[in-house]
Amino acid sequence: MQIRSRIIGLGSYLPERVLTNLELEGMVETSNEWILNRTGISERRIASEEEAASDLAYNASVAALKHAGIKKEDLDFIIVATVTPDMLFPSTACLVQYKLGIKNIFSFDISAACSGFIYALSVADQYIRSGIYRTGLVIGVDVFSKVVDWSDRSTCVLFGDGAGAAILQADSGDRGIISTHLHSDGRLWDILYIPGGGSRTPPSEEMLKNKLQYIKMRGNELFKVAVNTLCDSISEVLKFNGLKSDDIKLFIPHQANLRIIQAVGKKLNIPLERFKINLDVYGNTSAASVPIALCESVSEHMVRESDYVLLEAFGSGLTWGAALIKW
C-alpha cells in the first residue's frame, strides 16, 4: 500500500499593522504609483517590536491544528522554514515546540529563503512516506521588516511579514502530495543576500555602519532568474506527472512581484486568473507567501477535493522548487 502525505489542516497569521504605499511615501523617496507599477503591491503587514518569527509561527500553527481537528500531541515533528529566525540558535522550530507545549518530538529549521516552505514540505513528505512518522507540522515564516533598510526604496517596498502552517498526515488514498522538485544554484548566491551577522562578517560597529545587516538585492538579474526558474519548475512538474497546464486547477506561486507572475503566465500560456495572487495586500512574505496563499485559496473554496494544485517558488541561494498536490 502506497503511503502519501496529505495536508489535513492549514493556518496563517498576519500581523495587525498595515503599512500602505502612501505611508511609505513619507518614509522613503518613492510613490504609490511607482510601487504599484513595478511590483503590484499596495500594502503589507508589519510585525510589532515585540513579535518575532516564533510568535507568528505559533499563531499560524494553532490555526492549522484547529483546522485539522487534531491535538498538538498528535504531532511527530515540526519543520520551520525561515531566514529571519528569532536568533541564530536555538532553532525557531524548537521555540515553536516550546510555545505549543509539546514534548518527545523533533524540530528543526530549514534555510531556503522564499523557497523554504516547498523545501520543508518536501522533507516532511519524505519522512511520512517512509512510514516512520505519521503527522508533521510544516511552517513558513519570515519577518523581513526587521532586516530591510527602510531608507532603500529598492527593497523596503517589497517585503511584508507573515506565517503560514500546514499539518501533514499519512494517507493511503490517491490524494495528497504527488511529487516535489527541488533545485539550487550556489553560483547565484549574491543576487539576494544579507552579508552581515554571520561568521563571515560577524556583528561589529563597522558592520552596522555599512548597513551589512540588511538585505542586498540585484533586482534586474533576480527578475530574469525568477521568471525562468518558475517556468522551469512548472514545466518539470507537468512533464514528470504526465499532465498539461489545463489539468491544474490552481497555480500558487511565490508572491514576490506581479510582473514576475504575469511574465510566467505569458511564457507558459497560462491565464493570469489561474494563479492565486495576494501580494497586493501582503507583499513578499518570503517563506510564508506560498502557505498563506494556499490557506486563503482553500478557505475561499478556490480548491476542492481531487483538484490538482501546483505550488512553485524561488529564493535566495539561489533556490527554487515546486510541489504538486491532489487536494
Q: Which residues are part of the catalytic machinery?
A: 114, 254, 284
Q: Can you tell me which residue has the cell 511552517?
A: 139
Question: Could you tell me the three cell numbers for 317?
Answer: 541561494
Contact (CB, 8 A) for 286 and 144: yes
Could you tell me which of 162, 158, 139 has the C-alpha nearest to residue 148? 158
DSSP states of 293-309: HHHHHHHTTSS-TT-EE
Question: Could you tell me the three cell numbers for 286?
Answer: 518570503
Tell me how far apart the alpha carbons of residues 309 and 327 are, in angstroms, rounded to a whole number. Answer: 7
Residue type, position 278, single letter: N
Cβ neighbours around 311 below 10 Å, total: 26
Which helix (H) or strand (E) element contains residue 96? helix 92-100
Cβ neighbours around 185 below 10 Å, total: 13
